[in-house]
Structure 1
Amino acid sequence: MGIRTKLRRNRTQKKGMPPGSLVYIGDEQTEEVTISAIAFNSDKIDEYENASLDEVKTMIDSEKVTWVNVNGVHNVQLIDQISKHVGLHPLTTEDILNTEHRPKIDFFEDHLLAIVKMLDLPEESSDLDDEQVSFILMENTVITFQEKRGDLFDPVRLQLQESKGRIRKSGADFLFYSLLDVIFDQYLIIMDEMDDRIAQLEGMIMEDPDNHSLQDINQYKNTILQLKKTVWPVREVVNKLINRKVSYIKEDISFYLQDIHDHIVQANDMVETSRGQLYGLLDVYYSSLSMKMNEIMKVLTIVSTIFIPLTFIAGIYGMNFNNMPELSWEWSYPVVWIVMIIITGLMLMYFKRKKWF
């Protein structure tokens, strides 16, 4: 069963249900949903690898800055319990459970919901791995909901553990910025990798265009399209973050938000540039293929042209006439061969002088 089939099935289950009905929409998951949590201030940090729901509630209610990371959103009951504890609207919880959401941001009186895509580009594949990450930012708490285990947040965890920079001295808003910054930096890394692959593909096409090259171009076009769908809406998300004034995002964070805005603008520009390169690469492919075909036809034409006089000579002496004087001559056979070789040599010299090959 394909991904789209499963998504349609899940959406069909919601048909006729009232707004705010909680149904998981996404890939089928079998892993157990786990929760990790970090509570910290400038002096101390507490980490929980597999936190229970009660521990999470206690940490959220504490005065420390808390980061709760939920690995998996297919356990509807657990997500609903966490959401109710922090006072999320049912429609917000519904958005978290829908892993096919377009990047978006919603502001509320005491929290915000931000949904973005975390991307990865495997080395031996042109298919993007995308994972939806939903953020809940409150005064002292950041909650991240991921589709599965594994993320890009280890640098942030290391900064917290080693108290690097200002992250331990700042609030939940700076932690929220740091997590977004890691995700958006990955967009630029992926675009750099795509540029390298497109340049390498262009060299291969110029050297030897084949059907695999055309398949690679089409695969990369699909990848760039997916990047565009992911990166373009994020610009609006960051713009709203910068322009909206809320109590749980301090004024001094605006400068940092402007920095990730610049990254998103750059990523969008790179997407458009790569998209244009790929369409140009199609023209290069067909031009190179045409040139390759012309070279083949030129060689075949030269070979055919050389054999025209040789065929003429062979045709004459292949006629069965009784009164052909050369047929009874002792040296006629080698002389014919010598004549044909001389004609071939002269034609090759002529073609070479004309630079036809």
Structure 2
Amino acid sequence: MPSLPKPRLRRPARGRGSAVAHAPEPETPNVEVVEHDGLRWVNIVQPRQVDRAWLEEHFAFHPLDYEDVFSRNQRPKVDEYEDYLFVVLHFPAFDKQVGRLNAAEVDVFVGPDFVITLPNQPIQPLEYLFTQAQQRDDVRASLFGKGAGYLLYKIVDDCVDASFPMLRKIGNKLERLEEDIFEGRSGEIVRDLSNAKQEIINFRKIVRPQRSALADLERTKRYIPDDLDIYFDDINDASERIWDMLENFKEVVEGLESTNESVLSHQLNDVLRVLTAFSAVMLPLTFVASIFGMNVHVPGQDSITAFWIVIAFMVGLLGGMFYLFRRRGWL
């Protein structure tokens, strides 16, 4: 493999008496390199075309792989070539601008003496691991001392394990929502339930296609010795635990949503029951009042005693209907 590039300074020719043209400064590749014991880790965050030119100059990768690196909608996969391994993986990352989980893609080239990571956005566990390898000799020795396959394992393992704190936050959020439902805040948490459900759906979209890619990575033997099989099997176990937790969260949030709808429906039924009882009570009273309010002669029309008799009858009727409704459990 060609060695790392050395900067070459070129001075443009100037004619005598000619004006100097100030050309725009060329972009410099955003390439970070850590090397130890004959193994190099090249990290390029959010690769650009100038970074692609640098890679094409120093590595003979397939043109389709470069297209995959710079494409947006790429599924997780593992491609084996004669001279290298190309891996595409997705990991959940919280986007603060939109306030939800999105897929962070990292493309990895693995060769006999190099590992190249190209995340399309900063991934915290990957950045932390690379910084530790840069700054600490003991970490660099432990990561690079077992070959490119072990370095690939550590990168993938740290990125997969970063999902568990996110899942714990989702679990705590679901517990708080359950408490709010039974504390009488059902109407206020409808949006929160919807956001939690959408978050779980986005997480599942990221993890589902990743499972087959991690299984393919475990089966591949290129640059991954047999003694590392148990390590990649551990990554698969972690991925399955993540999927099981997401399945459980999916059932929980659907149950909470159904429970919240039942509580809201029960509250609405209570309101309708009170209104119906009030209407049922007022209906006979309105009927009696309408009879004696007609513009025709009725018994006792000119008697004050008849008026009080009608009032007493209406009060007795009101009390009897309340007693009946309470006895039946309608009020």
Give the superposition deviation at 1:264. Answer: 0.8
Distance of 1:223 and 1:237 partners within structure 2: 22
1:351 aligns to what? 325
- 2:179 is aligned with 1:178: no
Give the superposition deviation at 1:167. Answer: 2.9
Q: TM-score, normalised by structure 2?
A: 0.76
The 3 A distance-change label for structure 1 pair 100 and 122 is closer
The 3 A distance-change label for structure 1 pair 121 and 200 is farther
Deviations 1:326-353 (Å, cap 9, x if unpaired)?
64326935x6555544543443343233
Q: TM-score, normalised by structure 1?
A: 0.71
1:261 aligns to what? 236
Distance of 1:170 and 1:301 partners within structure 2: 77
2:4 aligns to what? none
Distance of 2:46 and 2:91 partners within structure 1: 14
Deviations 1:133-185 (Å, cap 9, x if unpaired)?
11112223221112234533244246533435943644332222122112212
Distance of 2:293 and 2:221 partners within structure 1: 98
Deviations 1:99-153 (Å, cap 9, x if unpaired)?
3100011122332111111312368976213221111122232211122345332
Distance of 1:125 and 1:292 partners within structure 2: 34
Within 5 A, what are the aligned runs for 1:1-357?
A: 34-40=30-36, 63=38, 65-73=39-47, 75-121=48-94, 127-149=100-122, 151-157=124-130, 159-160=132-133, 161-162=135-136, 163=138, 166-167=142-143, 169-204=145-180, 207-210=184-187, 213=190, 219-246=195-222, 248-322=223-297, 324-325=299-300, 327-329=302-304, 332=307, 336-337=310-311, 339-357=313-331
Query: Residue 121 of structure 2: SS of its match in structure 1?
Result: coil
Query: Residue 118 of structure 2: SS of its match in structure 1?
Result: strand
What code does the residue aligned with 2:263 have? S
What code does the residue aligned with 1:261 have? N
Distance of 2:55 and 2:213 partners within structure 1: 24
Deviations 1:65-84 (Å, cap 9, x if unpaired)?
322211212x2242132144
RMSD (Å), alpha carbons: 3.3
Give the superposition deviation at 1:212. Answer: 6.5
Give the superposition deviation at 1:279. Answer: 4.2
In our comparison, the structure showing a higher alpha carbon Rg is: 2
Contact 2:300 2:306 in 1 (8 A): no
Moved more, 132-141 or 157-166: 157-166
What code does the residue aligned with 2:322 have? L
Distance of 1:90 and 1:226 partners within structure 2: 31
Q: Give the gaps of 5 or more residues in structure 1.
A: 1-30, 42-62
Query: Residue 294 of structure 2: SS of its match in structure 1?
Result: coil
Q: Give the gaps of 5 or more residues in structure 2.
A: 1-26
The 3 A distance-change label for structure 1 pair 166 and 343 is farther
Aligned length, in residue pairs: 301
